[in-house]
Structure 1
Amino acid sequence: MFYYLLKYVVLGPLLRLFFRPVIEGTEHIPADGAAIVAGNHLSFSDHFLMPAIIKRRITFLAKAEYFTGPGVKGRLTAAFFRSAGQIPVDRSGKEAGQAAIREGLGVLSRGELLGIYPEGTRSHDGRLYKGKVGVAVMAIRAQVPVVPCAMVGTFEIQPPGKVVPRIKQVTIRFGEPLDFSRYAGLENEKAAVRAVTDEIMYAILGLSGQEYVDEYAAKVKAAEQAQRPGKFPKLRR
């Protein structure tokens, strides 16, 4: 109930008013049935814009810290993510990746739409980084299509470290669903899941026009921070 109030009465109209989003390719999102929407991740605003704008309800796996933040801001953030049906995932420890996969497969088993950012964190410089293979494992095991998605302009309205977003038009672009049925049964094969993940990332790249970096975003950012301490704002992934 609160989800639909937030989407159609409160947040959705405000986002459309201020950011005037251009939406392309929504016909590629299945009207029903399980599917994965895999997108680039440029801004905290991504969490709000896509779920509020597309017609179908979409469930994202969100880091657990969004649900446990202190103070008024923390409670408001947690309330938003819960009302939007987002699922907290503890990303600490060796089993974090497997926990996320289990949660994602649970969403897909219910015939729902699952949203995921394969980069695993927000881009700190606007480039597109190498994807983690969890999205491929889920797509192959659940045998569901993957719809690539590009958020365009959200880095400019709210780059890492900026609390209040700038008022500027953004574009949300969806591509044709990717079918990975040819990889059935190969979700435990490293070469197969890497190939599927790379195909997804290149589809996102074709939609976003970003510069691509064939390294993990978190690794690159950590290396840059080590070389130039204090230059980068603390990034909430």
Structure 2
Amino acid sequence: MEPVYRTLEMIAAAIRAVQGTRLRFDGLDNIPDGGGVLAINHTGYADFLPVGLALRERGRRARFLVKSEVMDLAIMRFLVAHTGSVPVDRSAGSEAYRAAVEALTHGELVAVYPESTISRSFELKEFKTGAVRMAVEAGVPVVPVIVWGAQRQLSKGAKRRIGRTHIPIHVAFGRPVMFDGGEVAGQLSADGATRRLHEVMVAQLHCVQDGYPDAPAGADWLPARLGGSAPTPEEALVIEDAEAQEKAARRAAKRQGE
């Protein structure tokens, strides 16, 4: 894990330097020394890079839960295997869940995107309960993490801005949240605890957005709530439902052709 992860950190730092990205890290002291679940908002394809660089400031690394679809690519299979990342098959996620809990009990950080997919509206989507449930089972805290600005570089529905753009990107680690076993004893309770985490992260997201230095009206990476041209959460849901149906049709066609 170490050599490949270290190489990826060097590449991420080089990309930052080439692009002139202005990174700001807040709340680094909230990163636990032992195990913990990092619950991260998901607005772009590369928002894991600034999180990794922030963790490096504290001498920590995380095992990211990633979609199993990335395993179709040889390079991604190599990276997943050599960085301790955990591929998640959404139709059968129990194996990934067990691997994550085991890593947490051994003092590792596990990075989870509770929204499961990128948010086209750049607002927080509804959360899955996995982050809370695995934290409770392992007896570790959940650390809410907000990444803001990375969606300007590479995301869904926004123009790609990969060159030397000097984009500011903020990464904010909130205070660790502990959920006890009694609170998350069943699915109904897990849903309630997850809603509480969602509320915490919405407030944290708004705080980060309020302190962000660049928010031009009409920007395609800015939520409609803030005057941007990104779709509203309701509009984004319609787009995402259509995409999901299209992907399901492609998978079905692929199975028939095998």
Give me the TM-score of the superposition, normalised by structure 1.
0.78
**RMSD, aligned α-carbons:** 3.0
Alignment partner, residue 10 of structure 1: 11
Which structure exhibits the higher relative contact order, with contacts defined as CA atoms closer than 8 Å and separated by 6 or more residues? 1
1:65 aligns with 2:69: yes
Change (3 A) 1:220 1:112: farther
Cα pair distance change 1:173/1:200, threshold 3 Å: same
Q: Which position in structure 2 is the counterpart of 1:203?
A: 200
- The reply to whether residue 106 of structure 1 matches residue 102 of structure 2 is yes
Q: Is the 8 A contact 2:153 2:160 kept in 1?
A: no
What is the number of residues matched between the two proteins? 214
Instruction: Extract unaligned runs of 5+ from structure 1.
Output: 70-74, 230-237
Alignment deviations for residues 175-207 of structure 1 (CA, whole Å, 9 cap, x no partner): 1111213xx145441231112111211221122
The answer to whether the 8 A contact 2:61-2:109 is kept is yes
1:21 aligns with 2:20: no
Q: Which residue of 1 aligns with 2:145?
A: 149
Asked whether the equivalents of residues 141 and 187 of structure 1 are also in contact (C-alpha less than 8 Å), the reply is no
Give the structure with higher Rg (CA): 2
Residues of 2 paired with 1:6 and 1:134: CA distance? 27
Residue 169 of structure 1: aligned partner: 168
Structure 2 stretches lacking a partner, 5+ long: 210-222, 226-232, 247-258
Which letter does structure 2 place at the counterpart of 1:116? V
Shift of 1:139: 1.7
Give the % identical residues: 27
149 and 16 in structure 1: CA distance in 2 versus 1, 3 angstrom threshold: farther
- Corresponding residue SS for 1:124: coil
Kindly provide the amino acid, as one letter, of the partner of residue 123 in structure 2: R
Give the equivalent residue in structure 2 for 1:233. Answer: none
Contact in 1 for aligned 2:67/2:89 (Cα 8 Å): yes
CA contact (8 A) 2:4 2:79 kept: no
Helix, strand or coil: the match of 2:100? helix
Change in CA separation of 1:26 and 1:118 when aligned onto 2, cut-off 3 Å: same
Preserved contact between residue 34 and residue 111 of structure 1 (Cα < 8 Å): yes
Structure 2 residue aligned with 1:72: none
Aligned to 1:194: 191
Instruction: Name the SS of the counterpart of 1:21 in structure 2.
Output: strand
Question: Would the alpha carbon gap of residues 29 and 164 (structure 1) be closer, same or farther in structure 2, given more than 3 Å must change?
Answer: same
After superposition, give the CA deviation of every residue in 1:25-47 in whole Å (9 maximum; x if it has no partner). Answer: 111001x2111110100001112
Partner residue in 2 for 1:158: 154
